A and B are shown apart, each in its own frame.
Chain A
Amino acid sequence: MTNEILVEIKRSVTNGQAEETTRLTENAIQQSTDPLEILNQALLPAVRELGAKFEQGEAFITDLIMAANALKAGYSILRPRLSPKQEEKVGRFLIGTVEGDIHDIGKEIVRNMLEAYGFEVEDLGVEVPAKTFVEMVMKHKPNILGMSALLTTTMVNQRRVIEDLKKAGIRENVKVMIGGAPTTEEWATEIGADAHGIEAVETVKKAIQLLGKVGSTS
């Protein structure tokens, strides 16, 4: 009985059906299904498996994001029933598009993926001044700061922020990832970023890897 409903929930997430996922999750809760089981055996695996397919070029981003939204819908039902320990996020990620740049579709895709993979994401939006990035790092204490830039003339702000973090004495407290079409691995290395993210799921995996190193001197 439990297995059947878990399979159904997993299927509705895979199919990107947020409302159906909500309904099925509510039913499952009413039938005393363990919320942690719903999370770990239905909601999360659905997205992980679709994510793996996406990495292999066998699934579409639009389906992956819809699945992520369905996961979030189901998760919002579970949340009040999870203990703080169970609710714990993979990590905290602060994201934004740099000053002078209003492009955000790439950032939106990455944000969705991070949330689907269990990150708590604080989105600062677009045209974020360097000063704001630094202030928000101090305020929210994220594990990772991610910055997007789409113009060759705004990329420089990614370097500016890293330098300002150093000046504020907090560069060691946070890992920095950068992305955006004109950015390259070489640019990321040149400006002292910790990682460069280009593809949606790959970026999340790099972020998870960075978590292992937060607080270390690497």
Chain B
Amino acid sequence: MGGIAVRRKWEPLTTEQIGKIHLASLEILNTVGVKVKSERALDLLKEGGAEVDFGDQVARIPSALVEEAVRKAPSSFTLYGRRREYDMKMEDDRVYFGAGGTAIYVIDLDGNRRLATDKDLADTTRLVDALPNVDFTAGLVNPHEIDQDILYPSMWVTLLNSTEKNVLHGIRGAEMTRDIAEMGSLIAGGEQDFRKRPFITCCCNVVSPLQHEKLMIESAIESAIQGIPTTMSPETQSGATGPATLAGTIALFNAEVLSGITIVQLARPGAPILYGCVASVMDMKSCNYAAGAIELGLLSAAATQMAHHYHVPVYATGGMSDSKVSDIQSGYERAMQMIIVALTGANYLHDAAGLLEHSLTFSYEQLVVDDEIIAMVSRVLEGIRVDETTIALDLIKKVGFHNYIAERHTAENFQKEHYLPRLSDRSAWDKWHKKGAKSLNLVAREKAKELLRTHFPEPIDKETNARLAKIVARWKREP
């Protein structure tokens, strides 16, 4: 499990630069403002002292209100699992890694790309549950066969049945949030139990530039009221929905996040909220969101610094690729992104496992490979221990010009100091060839199958599931 506290962070922005960006964001909020497509949110802002035009649905937020909100937002809170060992402390520079989603396709266990199903949602989630280095999960894939009216509640039920780790997913509005909270209470065995240890996180996105969509912001507000932590997460595309210059995109999404934190803290002061960032660049040749761009890493690194500046835990992104398959491109794009973001001390580092094709496809085998990448990045975060045991001066004196291979010190320490890969192949050519000369994604695929054969989370009982199904049925609409 993750939660390593980074000791020596990488900080691409200087304090002065953070200050400049912060002031720019405040000016954006004072002058341009944000478009908030929700009466409820606009009322909160108006009552809080913002200048609100209800006709245009634009709110200009004064700096004092923003700064007050940032002060109220908690700097430390827990995202719970249904098992205590899966609890994640969101604070300081402690880093957890997890899977992210809303993909449309999967690359399945036969290596075929096809539209995702509810079974895929269950299986990919269960696979996350089985992997030791993936700390949390999300609505990984959209089941294409589920009717869109009940899609989200149905996904929540599948998700919660398939893992005991914390689940993050979107919720379409306030009423649905109350229903999802009810689901959580049923599973936890009571409302008090659920409120004490909520194992659900609401994913709220901001639409760049500067727009809060109705159902999103209302789900964030209602989540705050229900005691469910929420993200506030823009997915700006530099060059398209944000300036082509990275600092401008950062100032923009920073303003967006600050406006969202303000709204949520007005709804319920002290509500746990994650400063979010899924920003990247728009690829100017394909017009696609460049999920594998190294700038995605830079932007999430900057977001982490801004969040730390505000003492608010951060929901950052790192570990995606634009490749359509688990190939070389997939390897280097995701690994480089993940490591630079992790080194800044991002608390909730998501989309770090499984995604391909600019986040449109979720791959079983890639998920397994990413567990390994996360473990390697975690090893970097652990750093180098320097003390008497590790400098091993007495040992060095004793061994002199011989070797260390059979020393007790070696036997006792190598597994603590060296990451032992579970997937990466280090064998000699002959041996590798004898084993079938398999490319790593095929090895990962076999491992995925093996894990799915053997690993099952603690089941939710039939009676509770029947009640969950009734909640889902509330959302059926007449054709």
Cβ contacts B129-163/A at 8 Å (1 or 0 each) = 00000000000001000001101100000000000
- Counting contact residues on chain A (CB < 8 A from B), the size range is 20 to 34
Contacts of B149 in A (CB 8 A): 156
> Which of A57, A152, A156 is within 8 Å of B285, CB to CB?
A57
How extensive is the interface on chain B, given as a class? Answer: 20 to 34
- In the bound assembly, the distance between CA atoms of A60 and B285 in angstroms comes to 5
Query: Of B115, B172, B239, B360, which one neighbours A181 at CB under 8 angstroms?
Result: B360
A152 to B240: give the CA distance in the assembly, Å: 22
A102 with B142, Cβ < 8 A, contacts A61-B284, A181-B360 known? no
The contact of A152 among B102, B207, B241, B286, by CB within 8 Å, is B102
Q: Are A102 and B286 neighbours in the complex by a CB distance under 8 Å?
A: no
Residue of B nearest to A181 (CB): B360
B148 CB contacts on chain A under 8 angstroms: 152-153, 155-156
Q: Which residues of chain A come closer than 8 Å to B237, judged between CB atoms?
A: 105
A199 contact from B115, B240, B287, B289, Cβ within 8 A: B287
| Chain A 61-91: CB-based contact to B (< 8 A → 1; otherwise 0) | 1100000000000000000000000000000
A184 CA / B142 CA spacing, docked (Å): 13
Give min CB distance, A114 to chain B, whole Å: 15
Asked if B317 CB lies within 8 Å of chain A CBs, one says no
Chain A min CB distance to B220 (Å): 16
Q: Taking the nearest CB of chain A, how far is it from the CB of B162, in angstroms?
A: 19
User: For B215, what are the chain A residues with a Cβ–Cβ distance below 8 Å?
Assistant: 100
Q: Is B94 an interface residue, CB under 8 A from the partner?
A: no
* With contact pairs A152-B142, A153-B151 given, residues A182 and B104 touching in the complex (Cβ less than 8 Å): yes
Chain B residue contacts of A153, Cβ below 8 A: 148, 151-152, 172
A39 to B434, CA, bound (A): 68
A186 within 8 A of B: yes
B126 within 8 A of A: no
With CB as the reference atom, state the residue of chain B lying closest to A64: B284
| Residue in A62, A106, A199 whose CB lies within 8 Å of B239 | A62
The reply to whether A184 and B284 form a contact with Cβ atoms under 8 Å apart is: no
A32 to B368, CA, bound (A): 69
B211 interface hit (Cβ, 8 Å): yes
Q: Is the CB of B104 within 8 A of A61?
A: no
Whether A62 and B284, one on each chain, are in contact in the complex, defined by CB atoms closer than 8 angstroms, is yes
Within 8 A of B (CB), among A179-197: 181-182, 184, 186
A24 within 8 A of B: no
A59 to chain B: closest residue by CB: B285
- Residues from chain A with a CB closer than 8 A to the CB of B239 are 62
Residues from chain B with a CB closer than 8 A to the CB of A200 are 287
**Which A residues are in CB contact (< 8 Å) with B142?**
152, 182
A46 to B: closest C-beta gap in Å: 19
Whether B213 is near chain A, meaning CB under 8 Å from some CB there, is yes
- Give the shortest distance, in Å, between B219 (CB) and chain A (any CB): 12
Secondary structure of the A contact surface, majority rule: loop
Q: A102 near B115 (CB under 8 angstroms)?
A: no
List residues 95-138 of chain A with CB under 8 A from any CB of chain B: 100, 102-103, 105-106, 109
Closest chain B residue, CB of each to CB of A62: B284
Asked if B308 CB lies within 8 Å of chain A CBs, one says no
Report the bound CA distance from A135 to B37 in whole Å.
24
A105 to B208, CA, bound (A): 10
Question: A103-B207, A105-B237, A152-B104 are contacts. A184–B115 as well, Cβ < 8 Å?
Answer: yes
Give chain B nearest CB distance to A199 CB in angstroms. Answer: 7
Residues 154-175 (chain A) with a chain B CB within 8 angstroms:
155-156
How far is B207's CA from A105's CA once the two chains are assembled, in angstroms? 11
Q: How far is the CB of B150 from chain A (nearest CB, A)?
A: 10
Q: How many angstroms from the CA of A105 to the CA of B211 in the assembled complex?
A: 13
CB pair B207–A102 under 8 Å, yes or no, is yes
Query: Once the chains are docked, how many angstroms separate the CA of A59 from the CA of B287?
Result: 11
- Nearest B-chain residue to A103, judged by Cβ: B207
B4 to chain A, nearest CB (A): 34
* A106 surroundings in chain B (CB, below 8 A): 287
Contact B211 A102 (CB under 8 A): yes
Cβ of A106 to closest chain B Cβ, rounded Å? 7
Contact of A60 among B37, B207, B211, B284 (CB under 8 A): B284
CA distance A59 to B240 in the complex (A): 16
Q: How far is the CA of A54 from the CA of B284 in the complex (A)?
A: 10
Cβ-closest chain A residue relative to B479: A163
Question: Are A152 and B151 in contact (CB-based, < 8 A)?
Answer: yes
B37 close to A102 (CB less than 8 A) = yes
Give bound CA distance, A62 to B244, whole Å. Answer: 11
Contact residues in B for A152 (Cβ distance below 8 Å): 102, 104, 142, 148, 151
Closest to A200 in B: B287
- Bound Cα distance from A15 to B66, whole angstroms: 42
Residues on the B chain within 8 Å of A186, using CB: 115
**Distance of A109 Cα from B215 Cα, bound (Å):** 26
Q: Which residue of chain A is the closest to B215 with respect to CB atoms?
A: A100
Q: How far is the CB of A202 from chain B (nearest CB, A)?
A: 11
Distance of A152 Cα from B102 Cα, bound (Å)? 9
Smallest beta-carbon distance B252→chain A, Å? 14
Measured between beta carbons, the chain A residues less than 8 angstroms from B282 are 61, 105
Cα separation A186 to B104 with both chains bound (whole Å): 12
The 5 A-B residue pairs with the shortest CB-CB distance in the complex, in nearest-first order: A60-B284, A156-B148, A152-B142, A105-B240, A57-B285
Mind listing 11 A-B residue pairs with CB under 8 Å?
A62-B239, A100-B215, A102-B207, A103-B207, A106-B287, A153-B151, A153-B152, A182-B104, A182-B142, A182-B360, A199-B286
Extra inter-chain contacts (14) besides given A152-B148, A182-B360, CB under 8 Å: A61-B282, A61-B284, A61-B287, A102-B37, A102-B207, A102-B213, A105-B237, A105-B240, A105-B241, A155-B148, A182-B142, A184-B104, A199-B286, A200-B287
